[in-house]
Each structure stands twice: as structure tokens, then as C-alpha cells.
Structure 1
Amino acid sequence: MEFMELLWAYLVVFVLAAVPFFEGYGVIALAIIAGLPAVPSILIALFGNILTVLLLILFVNKIKEWRRKRKGEGEEKNPSKRALRAQSLWKKYGLPGLAFIGPLFVGSHLTAFMSLSFGGTKKKTSIWMVASIVVWGLVFAVLSHFGVDILGYEDKGFFKDLIEKN
């Protein structure tokens, strides 16, 4: 792969990992399956996901204010099933439990937002969310690496095969 192609691929990895609901761990798996070098892909995806989660935590008060204005001041709606599940996790396992379980079900951005809404401090939420993102990223990287290796795509990615045939 030439330098510009690799640069574009890493830019896509970063942007996709930064987008809410398109989690870093999912992007890591896609990058490895696509045949990108694992270590840079993992680092770039983790950085993209962590950066946007930390920005959300930093600006959570502005985001809450924006949501309140968007919904209307007096309108209170019933919490969603996701919110109820997150609140249940919060009550049962606290911030660490929500931070580690939440990203698999609702995404890291929404998990961070809910953690702060349920009473977590910015500092503790940041620490637990970064730890969670790193752990899940590494777990999915290892699973993807060995899964791809088992399929015999060690030196060439699945997507490269598709592109080369066309």
C-alpha cells in the first residue's frame, strides 16, 4: 500500500472511531480485517474514540443545555429503554460497571453522557471511560487478529481481495 492510500485509510479509521455509535472497537476490527497494520490502527482508533468522549465530558453542560432547548423547557418525556437499562446498571454496579458494560450496548459517548447524568464526576467518568475504551479496543483487536488469522488472511486483507478482483 502506498503512503497516500495508507494515510487516507488511517484518516478513515480516525473519523469512524470518533463518530458516536461507530465505536473504536468496531473500527479496530474493521481495520484489521481490511489488512491495515494492527498497532497503528489500534492507536489511531483509540485516539479518535477517546478524543470525542473526552470532548463530550468536557462540554457536557453545554450539550445538556442544547438538548433542553431543543426538547422544550417544560416537556419531560419518559426515559427510553436504553436509559432505564443504564440506570439499572448504575444502581447495581456504579460508574465502573456502566463504563465497562455500556459501550457494548449504547456506545461510549452515550455511556459517558449517562454516567455524568447519573451523578458521576467529570474526572472519574473520564478515567473509567478511557479505561473501558482501551480495554474493549484491545479485546476486539486480539479477537479480530486471531479471527482473521484463522481464516488465512494474515498477509492480505479481506477487502484487498475484493478490490483486486475488480
Structure 2
Amino acid sequence: MHDALIAFTESLPVWLQWAGVMLISAIPFVESYLGTLIGIVAGVPTPLAVAAAVVGNVISMLAFVFLGAGARKKALERRAKGGDSTLEPELSPRQQRFKRMFDRFGVPGVSLLGQWVLPSQLSSGLMVSFGASRNAVIVWQIISIILWGILFAVIGNLGLIALR
């Protein structure tokens, strides 16, 4: 079955292989690491799988960063105008856990390790909404996305070697 999947993947144009891995990696909880792994198992060349997974994950993460920054800006504007937003919104238990992690480890720590709690898309939006620098979040998330993609490329290739 694995050989049939690889044959099918190899029969596709490279741009379609790229697009498939990129799209799947844009999904929260799939991200660059599972997108890379899926691409490698499906027969996409490793460098292409990593690059496509990183690009897809980064694009979706950027969307969440800009949404989080916009939400924070609107909330601050309402407070400045004396609106009804003087009270902080209640955070869910998962958001409270994330906030404690953010307060303890900062943007670099949450970016590199936060994917065990929330996907990079959600964690990046939350960090910005908590007041972290948008640019710092973007830089550290991109570093994290690349590192996780490379790590899972190594794991995926070692796993395929072990299975042969």
C-alpha cells in the first residue's frame, strides 16, 4: 500500500505535491511537523515536504497573528473610550494554562515549546492578544515552525529506514 501511495504521489506534478503538503500544514494541530511527516510518508522529497509544510504553517500562523493583533487593538480602543470593556474577559482553563506558560517562558519559550499545549496558529494569536510584540511572535514562531519541521523530517526518514 505504501508503494502505491508513493507511486501516486510521484505521478503528480511537483506544484501539486507542494500545494497538498502546504494546505495540510496550514491546518491547526497538523502544522509543519505532521505536514512534513505526511509528505515524506506519501513520497514527497524531504526538502520539498519540509519547505511546503513550513510555508503552509507560516501563512496560517500569520493570519492568526494579525487577527489577534486586530482584536487587541479594538479592545484597547474600547477601553480608551470608556466602553464596557474595563473588565478583562474570562479565560478558559486552557487559556489560563497558556497564559501562565506565557508569563513564565515568554515569546521564545512558548513559540518553541507551546505546540505541546496549543497549535502555533492559536498560540501566536494568544501571545499577541496578551500584549506580546507582533514582530517577536512572528520571528520566534517561524524559527519554531522550521525547527519542528526539520525534526519531524529526521524522525520520518529514520522511521522509513527502520521499516524497510
Distance 2:116 2:152 in 1: 11
- Number of matched pairs: 145
| Distance in 2 separating the partners of 1:148 and 1:63 | 44
Q: After the TM superposition, list the runs of 4 or more consecutive aligned residues in structure 1 that deviate by more than 3 angstroms.
A: 61-65, 73-78
**Offset at 1:11?**
1.5
**TM-score using structure 1 length:** 0.77
> Counterpart of 1:53 in structure 2: which amino acid?
M
Question: RMSD between aligned alpha carbons?
Answer: 2.3
The residue number in structure 2 matching 1:9 is 17
Partner of residue 18 from structure 1, selected from 15, 19, 26: 26
The reply to whether residue 49 of structure 1 matches residue 57 of structure 2 is yes
SS at match of 1:36: coil
Matched, 1:128 2:163: no
For residues 61 and 124 of structure 1, what CA distance do their matches in structure 2 show? 13
CA shift digits 1:52-99 (9 cap, x unpaired): 21232234344566xxxxxxx879864222211211111211111111
5+ long unaligned stretches in structure 2: 1-9, 75-83
Matched position secondary structure for 2:43 = coil
CA contact (8 A) 1:99 1:115 kept: no
* Post-superposition offset of 1:105: 2.5
Counterpart secondary structure, 1:100: helix
Matched-pair contact (CA < 8 Å) for 1:29–1:141: yes
Which residue in the other structure is 2:66 paired with? 58
Distance 1:61 1:139 in 2: 30
Amino acid of the residue matched to residue 21 of structure 1?
F
Mapped to 2, the partners of 1:76 and 1:115 lie a distance apart of 15
- Structure 1 gap segments, 5+ residues each: 66-72, 153-166
Whether contact under 8 Å (2:40, 2:153) holds in the other structure is yes
* TM-score using structure 2 length: 0.77
Which structure would you say has the larger RCO, counting Cα contacts within 8 Å and 6 or more residues apart? 1
